[in-house]
Structure 1
Amino acid sequence: MEIKAGRKPGLARTVGRTALLAVGAITGALAGAEQARAQEERDEIIVTAQRREQAIQDVPIAINAFNAEQLEEANIGDVSDLQVITPSLFVNTTGSAASDATIRIRGVGTTGNNAGLEGAVGVFIDGVYRNRSGMALGQLTDVERIEVLRGPQSTLFGKNTSAGALSIITRAPDFASVSAGGSMTFGDPDVLGMTGYVNLPVADNLALRFTGAADSREGYIENRNTGAQNQDVDRWFVRGQALWDMNTDASFRLIVDYSEINNNGNTAVRARHAGARAATINIIETNAGLSPTAAGTFDSNSLNGDPNNQAEDFGISGELNWDLSPSVTLTNITAYRDYNRANAGDTDFTGADRAIAESW
Structure 2
Amino acid sequence: MTVRFLLLATVASTSLAVPVAYAQEQTAPVADEAVEAAPTTTNAIIVTARRRAERAQDVPLAIAVLDSKTLESSGTFNVGRLTQLQPSVQFYSSNPRNSAANIRGLGAPFGLTNDGIEQGVGIYVDQVYYARSASSTFDFLDVDQIEILRGPQGTLYGKNTTAGAINITSRKPSFTPEGRAELTVGNLGLVQGKASISGPLIEDKLAVRLGTSVTKRKGSIYNVTSRQDINDQDNVGFKAQFLLRATDSLNLTLSGDYSRQRPNGYGQYYARVGTTQRALNRQYEQLAAASGNYSPPSFDPFDRVTDLDAGIEAKQDFGGVSLLAEWDLGPGTLTSVSAWRKWKWGPQNDRDYIGLPITTVSQNPSQQEQWSQELRYASSGKNKIDYVVGLYAFHQTVDTEGLQVQGPLASRWLLSGANANRPEILNGLRSENDIGLKNTSLAAFGQLTWRITDALRVQPGIRLNYDKKNGKYISTVFDGAGRPVPATGGTTENGLQRGVLSPLNYSPKFSDWNLSYDFTASYDVARDVLAYATYARSFKSGGINLSGIPLDTAGNPITAVETVKPEKVNHFELGLKTQFLDRRATFNLAAFWTEVKDYQATVTNSQVGVIRGYLANADKIRVRGVEADFNFRPSDRLTLYVNGAFTDHEYVKFPDAPCPPERSGGATTLPVDANGNIIGTPTAPGVPSTAANPSVSAPFCDVSGQWLPGISKWAFAYGAEYNIPTKLLGEQGEAYLAFDGSYRSKFSSNPSRSIYNDISGYSLANFRLGFRTDGKWDVSAWVRNAFDEKYFELLQNQSGSTGLVVGQPADPRTYGVTLRASF
Q: Please give the TM-score of this superposition, normalised by the length of structure 2.
A: 0.37
Deviation string 1:18-47 (CA, Å, 9 cap, x unpaired) is xxxxxxxxxxxxxxxxx9525997441111
Q: State the partner residue of 1:181.
A: 180
Q: AA paired with 2:309?
A: N
Q: State the partner residue of 1:330.
A: 334
Q: State the partner residue of 1:37.
A: 29
Correspondent of 1:288 among 286, 291, 294: 291
Q: Distance in 1 between matches of 2:131 and 2:239?
A: 20
Q: State the partner residue of 1:352.
A: 356
Q: Distance in 2 between matches of 1:42 and 1:131?
A: 32
Give the 3 Å change call, closer, same or farther, for CA 264–39 of structure 1 in structure 2. farther
What is the DSSP-based 3-state SS (H/G/I as helix, E as strand, rest coil) of the residue aligned with 1:338? Answer: strand
Q: How does 1:182-261 map to 2 (within 5 A)?
A: 182-203=181-202, 204-261=204-261
Deviation string 1:214-259 (CA, Å, 9 cap, x unpaired) is 1111123222222121111111110011000011110100000000
Residues 285 and 292 of structure 1 are in contact (CA less than 8 Å); yes or no, is this contact kept in structure 2? no
Deviation string 1:97-148 (CA, Å, 9 cap, x unpaired) is x343111111112124515142100111000000011111111121111011
Q: Distance in 2 between matches of 1:195 and 1:162?
A: 34
Give the 3 Å change call, closer, same or farther, for CA 305–208 of structure 1 in structure 2. same
Identity score, percent: 30
Residues 315 and 335 of structure 1 are in contact (CA less than 8 Å); yes or no, is this contact kept in structure 2? yes
Q: Distance in 1 between matches of 2:59 and 2:88?
A: 18
Deviation string 1:326-352 (CA, Å, 9 cap, x unpaired) is x30000010111111122211212222
Q: AA paired with 2:192?
A: G
Q: Distance in 1 between matches of 2:67 and 2:28?
A: 19
Q: Distance in 2 between matches of 1:294 and 1:109?
A: 35
Deviation string 1:161-196 (CA, Å, 9 cap, x unpaired) is 0111110000110012x2211111111111111100
Q: Distance in 2 between matches of 1:113 and 1:70?
A: 32
Q: Distance in 2 between matches of 1:39 and 1:134?
A: 42
Q: Unaligned 5+ residue runs, structure 2?
A: 1-26, 33-40, 275-279, 366-823
What is the DSSP-based 3-state SS (H/G/I as helix, E as strand, rest coil) of the residue aligned with 2:242? Answer: strand
Residues 270 and 296 of structure 2 are in contact (CA less than 8 Å); yes or no, is this contact kept in structure 1? no
Q: Distance in 2 between matches of 1:300 and 1:167?
A: 38
Q: State the partner residue of 2:3.
A: none
Give the 3 Å change call, closer, same or farther, for CA 63–175 of structure 1 in structure 2. same
Q: Distance in 2 between matches of 1:243 and 1:108?
A: 37
Give the 3 Å change call, closer, same or farther, for CA 115–308 of structure 1 in structure 2. farther
Q: Distance in 1 between matches of 2:200 and 2:70?
A: 27
Q: AA paired with 1:208?
A: V
Q: Distance in 2 between matches of 1:36 and 1:234?
A: 41
Q: State the partner residue of 1:339.
A: 343
Q: Distance in 1 between matches of 2:112 and 2:216?
A: 24
Q: Unaligned 5+ residue runs, structure 1?
A: 1-34
**How many residues matched?**
318
Q: Distance in 1 between matches of 2:120 and 2:165?
A: 8
The structure with the greater share of residues assigned to strand is 2
Q: Distance in 2 between matches of 1:101 and 1:85?
A: 19
Q: Distance in 2 between matches of 1:99 and 1:235?
A: 16
Q: Does residue 300 in structure 1 map to residue 305 in structure 2?
A: yes
Residues 99 and 310 of structure 1 are in contact (CA less than 8 Å); yes or no, is this contact kept in structure 2? no
What is the DSSP-based 3-state SS (H/G/I as helix, E as strand, rest coil) of the residue aligned with 1:248? Answer: coil
Residues 100 and 114 of structure 1 are in contact (CA less than 8 Å); yes or no, is this contact kept in structure 2? yes
Residues 115 and 132 of structure 1 are in contact (CA less than 8 Å); yes or no, is this contact kept in structure 2? no
Correspondent of 2:319 among 314, 321, 324: 314
Q: AA paired with 1:122?
A: G
What is the DSSP-based 3-state SS (H/G/I as helix, E as strand, rest coil) of the residue aligned with 1:346? Answer: coil
Q: Distance in 1 between matches of 2:163 and 2:272?
A: 37
Structure number with higher relative contact order (C-alpha < 8 Å, ≥ 6 residues apart): 2
User: Which stretch of the first structure deviates more once superposed, 296-305 or 244-253?
Assistant: 296-305
Correspondent of 1:101 among 93, 99, 102: 99
User: Which stretch of the first structure deviates more once superposed, 180-189 or 244-253?
Assistant: 180-189
Q: Distance in 2 between matches of 1:100 and 1:260?
A: 17
Q: AA paired with 1:107?
A: G
What is the DSSP-based 3-state SS (H/G/I as helix, E as strand, rest coil) of the residue aligned with 2:300? Answer: coil
The structure with the greater share of residues assigned to helix is 1
Q: Distance in 1 between matches of 2:289 and 2:186?
A: 38
